[in-house]
């Protein structure tokens, strides 16, 4: 993007009247805002609220599974809980958290005054509460909410779904519109608003990973919209996309869904890769090892993510050639992912390491995400997957990439940048407590699931055979521990907002980047004049 | 423009939150119409909700775009801002391409895999045991279970109305380009003439498409309910038709704005965005003509 540099110098003299005022008073500040920091804050708060809501559903699930037999909820409600837990965590907690981080940090990292399209940015955010209001309201409708699993396979969701499925479909549409507009904004910001001198290969990695994530979002969210539209038509207008008696195919649903769904899992992890690539160098007091290879690895992962979708469908009856292709393509992803893990470890090698909370979460991320990656490789082996498919092994796998992967990445980012957001240092002792309780709780909750799955316990059931009882009890204890610990995180953040040790502009001595050149807390408007990047 | 070479960060705006309420109310209303209708309950309340939502959306679109036009005419937008709009529109069109890709993908999948397998061919030919004797063919006029999904009597030939529509749409892509060149040359009368011609072609296209749909429903029994051929046919052509209508609205608004003198020879991104969108609609049609009608 050599073009951008030319006009950048012209941005130097700035609208005085637009930039030297603070936030508006009262609630209208949040409702009408065009400020990337306000919008980022709203995304983060919304994401945490959804994290608690989806988490409380997980608590219901684990309470029911604490012992064999049915004791707390009916199977029908249990199914709604597993479905809503998945949907809320994916679309309500993880994705908005990363969009919130992007809103806060991208303009600060590239030296831009705001996001490229600030009003659309506000709309992207407010559509989310609207979508989740509709989604959660389905729980109270006749016939209950979605009960077909977060992947909403046809015909479970079409022929056999509850009447509220139509509302679920429109909620997904609204989330999709929000994500697409958010992603367009991110791309326009990164491609057009970088400070003079910041060439593409000088961009911080969080910016790089978000650029690629935004591309994935724009490419696959419309496909999700397409597949739910086909569902809508099958349910309400008599089409037969997913009905073989009319010449359609239920497997078609799975193909289209996973064409969205597989890039989606990278959408949830790539920004965490980016954030960790800032945090590990900062607390190793060394530059990131292999910057260029990190960029290429993210690009390779993103491209490969488009050609691996059917590894979710090995047991559904796809031709053997398809199984082989998708098996090998999936295994290829281990190569660029291995490059990234190697580079993070090499960054730490012989660094002067300290282990503040962001670093603890980042190191745990590297180790535990790698475990999730390895179980992914096991699942990628088509013949072995016939055994693992739809067991708790799959549940263990994706919780290992999402909890200590995506969510630890978010916690690491939150602690890393909280001083910049609030102007105060968080309570390090409490934060370390938060880390260790989360770490132990999360491993207790999810590690036994590997054994349960290999022994044959199916996923998405409210009751199970007696031989699974011990591991399930351990898992539930771990889940309660992890869940309760997140209230501590809420307390730490509130405490940090209300006060604490004053944070310097650059509170971490190894940190690098433009965001540390502005004061803490970051002023309401930053970089009215773009900085020069050498 | 020298003093405006800054990035314009707009003040607080009421439009996004109005748009959120409008979209939420509209879609909740639509969903309620479908759900209540299916259960045989009254849909009056849902229709009222939908109407209210639609009115809010219309108000928002006028207000928000009006706002942007006013700012643009006040010279608040720098060349850099202009590039943000260009990136925004380009990626929006890319997202639309991917939306159509989902439906084209479904079409290819059923034609190449699902229907032949049901007919006993290929790797998964065992699915023929579901409806023994079912013969795979395309266009699929006899469905695996004709009682659940009675097939169409026949399907629409590519070489009648669809060919006319292809000519109309390709010509309109040409005329809009002529209008664009005239605009760049500063010839407003010529721009208006060629743009009006484009809009006329677009409206004739929509009319012909509507006529074709009536013919399909009334004479051929080709409907949404007539199996996978009808499903893919109406969803692809229907979404395309909806995009033609949206594109025509954009062009009509551009004609009004040209008449009001909003554009100059070198500053007319609104027009260009509408033209890009129009070309996108045209390209999608060419895909439809080849894969839905001809092949």
- A274 with A308, same domain: the answer is yes
Residue A181 has pLDDT above 70, yes or no: yes
On chain A, the residues whose CB falls within 8 A of the CB of B38 are 163, 235-236
Distance CA B82, CA B94 (A): 18
Phi-psi region of A391 (alpha: psi -120 to 50; beta: other; left: phi over 0): beta
In whole angstroms, give the CA distance from residue B256 to residue A350.
67
Convert the pLDDT of each residue in B18-52 to its tens digit. 999 999 999 999 999 999 999 999 999 999 999 99
Convert the pLDDT of each residue in A106-138 to its tens digit. Answer: 999 999 999 999 999 999 999 999 999 999 999
Q: What is the CATH number of the domain that holds B205?
A: 1.20.120.80
What tokens does A64 get?
């029911």
**Environment class of A228 (CB within 10 Å of its CB; exposed 0-12, middle 13-18, buried 19+):** buried
Q: Which residues pair with A391 in a beta bridge?
A: A458
Is A225's CB within 8 Å of B102's CB?
Answer: yes
- Length of chain B (residues): 295
Angle B203-B253-B259 from CA coordinates, rounded to 5°: 110
Among residues A459, A495, A512, A529, the one annotated as catalytic is A459
Query: Is A21 among the domain residues?
Result: no
Residues A314 and A251 in one domain: no
B47, B86: one domain: no
Asked whether residue B284 carries a pLDDT value surpassing 60, the answer given is yes
Closest of A193, A198, A14 to residue A112, by C-alpha:
A193
Distance CA A307, CA A357 (A): 37
Cβ neighbours for A26, distance < 8 A, ≥ 6 positions apart:
none
Q: Mean of the per-residue pLDDT values for chain A?
A: 94
For Cα atoms A468, A469, A475, give the angle at the middle one, nearest 5 degrees. Answer: 95
Closest CA to A242 of A256, A263, A261: A256
State whether A239 and B224 contact (CB < 8 Å): yes
Query: What whole-number distance in Å separates Cα of residue B175 and Cα of residue B188?
Result: 15
B104 and B196 housed in the same domain? yes
Q: Which of A254-268, A280-294, B121-135, B250-264 has the lowest mean pLDDT?
A: B121-135
- Say if residue A222 is in the same domain as residue A296: no
Range of the domain at B117: 79-294
Q: Which residue of A has its CA nearest to B29?
A: A167
For A391, phi then psi, to 5°, come to -110, 175
Q: Are the beta carbons of A119 and B15 separated by less than 8 Å?
A: yes
Distance CA B181, CA A189 (A): 30
Tell me whether residue A372 is in a domain: yes
Minimal Cβ distance to B6: which of A13, A170, A229: A13
Of A109, A431, A442, A412, residue with least CA distance to A276: A412
The answer to whether residue A345 is domain-embedded is yes
Whether the predicted pLDDT of A16 surpasses 80: no
d(CA B96, CA B261): 30
Q: Which of B39, B57, B95, B122 would you mutate first to test chain A, the one with the most A CBs within 10 A?
A: B95
* Euclidean distance between CA atoms A94 and A266, whole angstroms: 12
Same structural domain, A92 and A147: yes
Residues B66 and B186 in one domain: no
Q: B interface mutation test: which of A247, A254, A255, A527 has the most B CBs within 10 A? A: A247
Smallest CA-to-CA distance from A169 within A100, A257, A93 is with A257
Residue B231 C-alpha, separation from nearest chain A C-alpha, in angstroms: 5
Reported as type and span, the H/E element at residue B64 is: helix B44-73
Residue A1 forms part of a structural domain:
no
Query: How far apart are alpha carbons A321 and A327 in whole angstroms?
Result: 10
β-strand partners of B267 = B264
- On the question of pLDDT at A22 being above 90, the answer is no
Cα end-to-end span (Å), chain A = 17
Distant-in-sequence, close-in-space partners of A62: CB < 8 Å, separation ≥ 6: A445, A475, A476, A479, A480
Phi, psi at residue A426, to the nearest 5°?
-75, 170
**Using alpha carbons only, how large is chain A's radius of gyration in Å?**
23
Residue A19 has pLDDT above 80, yes or no: no
- Residue A386, domain member (yes or no): yes
Can you tell me the distance from the alpha carbon of A152 to that of A155, in angstroms, rounded to the nearest whole number? 9
**Domain closes at, from B14, B46, B77:** B77
Q: Which residues contact A154 (CB under 8 A, 6 or more apart)?
A: A231, A234, A241, A242, A250, A253
Task: Given the residues A85, A389, A397, A525, select the one marked as catalytic.
Answer: A85
Supply the DSSP symbol for A504. P
Closest Cα of chain B to A460: distance in Å?
A: 27
Are residues A384 and A303 located together in one domain of the fold? yes
Q: Is A262 a catalytic residue?
A: yes
Residues B267-281: tens digit of each pLDDT = 999 999 999 999 999
Nearest CA in chain A to B92: A184
Q: Which two tokens stand for residue A534?
A: 């050498």
Question: What was the pLDDT predicted at B140?
Answer: 95
Q: How many residues are present in chain A?
A: 534
Active-site residue, A350 included: no
Using CB atoms within 10 Å of the CB of residue B48, give its burial: 0 to 12 exposed, 13 to 18 middle, 19+ buried.
Answer: exposed
Q: Which two tokens stand for residue A171?
A: 């909620």
Domain end, chosen from A258, A289, A316, is at A258
pLDDT: which is higher, A15 or A285: A285
B98 vs A229: CB contact, 8 Å cut-off? no
pLDDT at residue A116, as a whole number: 96
Residue A377 host element (H or E): helix A357-380
Quickly state the pLDDT bin for A14 (edges 50, 70, 90).
very low
Is A284 catalytic? The answer is no
Max CA-CA distance within chain A? 72
The reply to whether B84 and B22 lie within a common domain is no
Instruction: Enter the DSSP assignment of B113.
Output: I
10 Å Cβ neighbour count for A200?
A: 15
Res. A532 pLDDT band, cuts 50 70 90:
confident
Collapsing DSSP states into helix, strand and coil, what is residue A287?
coil
Q: Which of B77, B100, B134 is the last residue of a domain?
A: B77
Same-domain pairing of B136 and B223: yes
Residues A104 and A203 in one domain: yes
Cβ–Cβ gap A247/B140 under 8 Å: yes
| CA-wise closest residue to A301 among A324, A272, A279, A280 | A272
CB A336 within 8 A of CB A297: yes
A129 shares a domain with A180: yes
| Same domain assignment for residues B34 and B113 | no
Retrieve residue A331's tokens.
């295994």
Note whether residue A133 is domain-resident: yes
Mark whether A234 and A358 lie in a shared domain: no
Q: What is the mean pLDDT of residues A190-204?
A: 96
Question: Can you give the pLDDT at residue A21?
Answer: 64
Is A315 a catalytic site residue?
no
Q: Note whether B164 and B221 are same-domain residues.
A: yes
Q: Which residue of B has its CA nearest to A8?
A: B80
Mutant choice from A174, A220, A240, A242 vs B, greatest count of B C-beta within 10 A? A240
Give me the DSSP letters along A476-487: HHHHHHHHHHHH
Q: Is the pLDDT of residue B5 over 60?
A: no
User: Are A255 and B247 a contacting pair, CB within 8 Å?
Assistant: no
Domain termination residue (choose one: A258, A287, A306)? A258
The answer on pLDDT for B4 being more than 50 is no
Question: Among the three residues A258, A288, A312, which one is the final residue of a domain in this structure?
Answer: A258
Residues B79 and A113: their CA atoms lie apart, in Å, by 16
Task: Evaluate if residue B8 carries a pLDDT over 70.
Answer: yes
The per-residue pLDDT for B11 is 87
Concatenating the DSSP letter of every residue in A131-187 gives HHHHHHHGGGSTT-S--STTTT-TTTTTTSS-TTHHHHHHHHHHHHHHHHHHHHHHH
Q: What residues in B contact A29, CB-CB < 8 Å?
A: 12
The pLDDT value given to residue A2: 36
Output the CA angle A196-A421-A176, nearest 5 degrees. Answer: 80
B3 HSE (CA, 13 A, CB side):
4
Residue from A40, A12, A186 nearest A524 by CA = A40
Residue A457 phi, psi (nearest 5):
-75, 120
Query: Roughly how many angstroms between the first and final C-alpha of chain B, as a whole number?
Result: 53
- The Cα of A10 is separated from the nearest Cα of chain B by a number of Å equal to 6
pLDDT band, very low/low/confident/very high, at A15 (cuts 50, 70, 90) = very low
The answer for B99, left when phi > 0, alpha when psi is -120 to 50, beta otherwise, is: alpha
Q: Are residues B14 and B154 in the same domain?
A: no
Residue A151 has pLDDT above 60, yes or no: yes
pLDDT in tens, A408-440: 999 999 999 999 999 999 999 999 999 999 999
CA distances to A207, B118, B245 from B133, in Å? 58, 10, 43
Classify residue A10: in a domain, yes or no. no
Establish if A448 belongs to a structural domain.
yes
Extract the tokens encoding B77: 């937008």
A140 to chain B: which residues are within 8 Å by CB? none
Residue A143: what are its φ and ψ, rounded to 5°?
85, -5
Cβ–Cβ < 8 Å for B221, B152: yes
Which of these three, B13, B45, B77, is where a domain ends?
A: B77
Both A435 and A516 in a single domain? yes
| Domain count across chain B | 2
Residues B100 and B180 in one domain: yes
Q: What is the token pair recorded at B37?
A: 């209708």
- In chain A, pLDDT over 90 holds for what percent of residues? 93
Q: Which of A36, A312, A389, A420 is catalytic?
A: A312
Q: Which residue intervals of A237-356 are DSSP H helices?
A: 250-267, 270-284, 291-304, 320-332, 334-348
How far are the Cα atoms of A23, A168, A407, A418, A505 from residue A499, in angstroms, in the given order?
20, 41, 25, 12, 16
Residue A26 has pLDDT above 90, yes or no: no
Sequence-distant (≥ 6) Cβ neighbours of residue B155 within 8 angstroms: B139, B141, B220, B222, B229, B233
Q: Is the peptide bond before A155 cis (omega within 30 degrees of 0)?
A: yes
Q: How far is A219 from chain B (nearest CA, A)?
A: 6
Residues B91 and B72 in one domain: no
- Residue A291 designated active-site: no
Question: What is the Rg, in whole angstroms, of the alpha carbon atoms belonging to chain B?
Answer: 23
* Cβ-defined contact of B9 to A114 (cutoff 8 Å): yes
Tens digit of each residue's pLDDT (9 = 90 or more) over A343-354: 999 999 999 999
Q: Examine the domain organization and report whether A324 and A399 are in the same domain.
A: yes
Q: Which domain holds residue A468?
A: 269-525
Say yes or no: B97 and B48 in one domain. Answer: no
Tokens of A520: 């803490």
A76 and A216, same domain (yes or no): yes
Any catalytic annotation for residue A460?
no
Q: Are residues A201 and A275 in the same domain?
A: no
Split into its structural domains, chain A has a count of 2
Which member of A37, A173, A278, A311 is catalytic?
A311
> What is the domain-level CATH number for residue A249?
1.20.210.10
The tokens describing B119, both together, are: 């007919």
- In which band, very low, low, confident or very high, does the pLDDT at B136 lie, cut at 50, 70 and 90? very high
Q: Give residue B7's pLDDT band: very low, low, confident or very high (50, 70, 90).
A: confident
DSSP letter, residue A94: I
Asked if residue B113 and residue B62 are part of one domain, the reply reads no
């Amino acid at each position: 993007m050599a073009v951008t540099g030319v006009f950048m110098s012209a941005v130097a003299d700035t609208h005085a009247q637009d930039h030297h005022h603070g936030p508006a008073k009262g609630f209208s500040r949040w409702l009408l805002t065009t400020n990337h920091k306000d919008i980022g804050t709203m995304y983060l708060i919304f994401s945490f609220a959804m994290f608690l809501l989806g988490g409380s559903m997980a608590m219901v699930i684990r309470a029911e599974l604490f012992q064999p037999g049915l004791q707390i909820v009916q199977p029908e409600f249990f199914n709604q809980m597993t479905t809503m837990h998945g949907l809320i965590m994916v679309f309500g907690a993880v994705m908005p958290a990363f969009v919130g981080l992007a809103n806060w940090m991208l303009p600060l990292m590239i030296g831009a005054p705001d996001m490229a399209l600030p009003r659309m940015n506000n709309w992207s955010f407010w559509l989310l509460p609207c979508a989740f209001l509709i989604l959660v309201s389905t729980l109270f409708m006749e016939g209950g909410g979605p009960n077909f699993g977060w992947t909403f396979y046809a015909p479970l969701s079409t022929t056999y779904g509850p009447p509220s499925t139509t509302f679920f479909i429109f909620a997904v549409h609204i989330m999709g519109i929000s994500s697409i507009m958010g992603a367009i904004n991110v791309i326009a910001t990164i491609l057009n608003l970088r400070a003079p001198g910041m060439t593409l290969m000088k961009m911080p990695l969080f910016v790089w990973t978000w650029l690629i994530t935004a591309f994935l979002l724009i490419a696959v969210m419309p496909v999700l919209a397409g597949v739910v539209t086909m569902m809508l038509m099958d349910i309400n207008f008599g089409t037969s996309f997913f009905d073989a008696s009319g010449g359609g195919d239920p497997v078609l649903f799975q193909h289209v869904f996973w064409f969205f769904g597989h890039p989606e899992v990278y959408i949830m992890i790539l920004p965490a890769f980016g954030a960790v690539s800032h945090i590990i160098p900062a607390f190793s007091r060394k530059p990131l090892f292999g910057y260029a290879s990190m960029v290429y690895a993210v690009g390779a992962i993103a491209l490969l993510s488009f050609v691996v979708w059917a590894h979710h469908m090995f047991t559904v009856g796809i031709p053997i050639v398809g199984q082989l292709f998708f098996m090998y393509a999936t295994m290829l992803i281990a190569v660029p992912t291995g490059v990234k893990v190697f580079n993070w470890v090499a960054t730490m090698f012989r660094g002067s390491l300290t282990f503040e909370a962001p670093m603890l979460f980042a190191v745990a991320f590297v180790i535990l995400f790698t475990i999730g990656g390895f179980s992914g490789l096991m699942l990628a082996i088509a013949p072995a997957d016939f055994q693992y498919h739809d067991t708790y092994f799959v549940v263990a796998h994706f919780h290992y990439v999402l909890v200590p992967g995506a969510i630890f990445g978010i916690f690491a980012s939150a602690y890393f940048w909280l001083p910049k957001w609030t102007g105060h240092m968080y309570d390090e002792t409490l934060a370390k407590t938060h880390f260790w309780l989360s770490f132990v709780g999360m491993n207790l909750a999810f590690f036994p699931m590997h054994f349960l799955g290999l022994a044959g316990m199916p996923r998405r059931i409210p009751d199970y055979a007696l031989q699974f009882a011990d591991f399930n009890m351990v898992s539930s204890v771990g889940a309660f521990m992890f869940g309760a610990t997140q209230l501590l995180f809420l307390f730490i953040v509130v405490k940090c907002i209300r006060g604490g040790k004053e944070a310097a502009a650059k509170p971490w001595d190894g940190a690098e980047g433009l965001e540390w050149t502005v004061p803490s807390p970051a002023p309401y408007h930053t970089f009215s004049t773009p900085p020069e990047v050498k | 423009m020298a003093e405006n070479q800054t990035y314009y960060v707009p003040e607080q705006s009421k439009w996004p939150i109005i748009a959120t309420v409008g979209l939420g109310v509209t879609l909740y209303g639509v969903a309620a119409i479908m759900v209540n209708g299916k259960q045989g309950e009254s849909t009056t309340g849902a229709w009222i909700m939908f109407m209210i939502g639609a009115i809010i959306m219309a108000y928002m679109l006028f207000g928000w775009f009006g706002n942007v036009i006013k700012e643009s005419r006040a010279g608040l937008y720098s060349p850099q801002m202009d590039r943000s709009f260009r990136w925004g529109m380009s990626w929006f069109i890319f997202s639309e391409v991917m939306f159509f890709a989902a439906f084209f993908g479904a079409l290819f999948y059923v034609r190449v895999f699902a229907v032949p397998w049901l007919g006993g061919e290929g790797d998964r030919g065992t699915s023929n045991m579901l409806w023994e004797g079912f013969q795979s063919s395309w266009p699929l006029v006899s469905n695996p279970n004709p009682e659940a999904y009675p097939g169409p009597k026949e399907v629409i030939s590519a070489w009648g109305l669809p060919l006319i529509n292809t000519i109309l749409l390709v010509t309109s892509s040409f005329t809009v380009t002529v209008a664009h060149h005239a605009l760049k040359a500063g010839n407003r009368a010529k721009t208006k003439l060629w743009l009006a011609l484009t809009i006329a072609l677009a409206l004739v296209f929509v009319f012909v498409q509507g006529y074709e749909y009536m013919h399909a429903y009334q004479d051929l029994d080709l409907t949404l309910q007539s199996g996978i051929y009808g499903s893919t046919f109406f969803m692809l052509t229907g979404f395309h038709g909806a995009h033609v209508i949206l594109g025509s609205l954009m062009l009509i608004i551009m004609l009004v704005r040209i008449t009001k003198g909003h554009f100059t020879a070198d500053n007319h991104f609104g027009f260009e965005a509408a033209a890009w969108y129009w070309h996108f609609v045209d390209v999608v049609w060419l895909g439809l003509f080849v894969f839905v009608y001809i092949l």
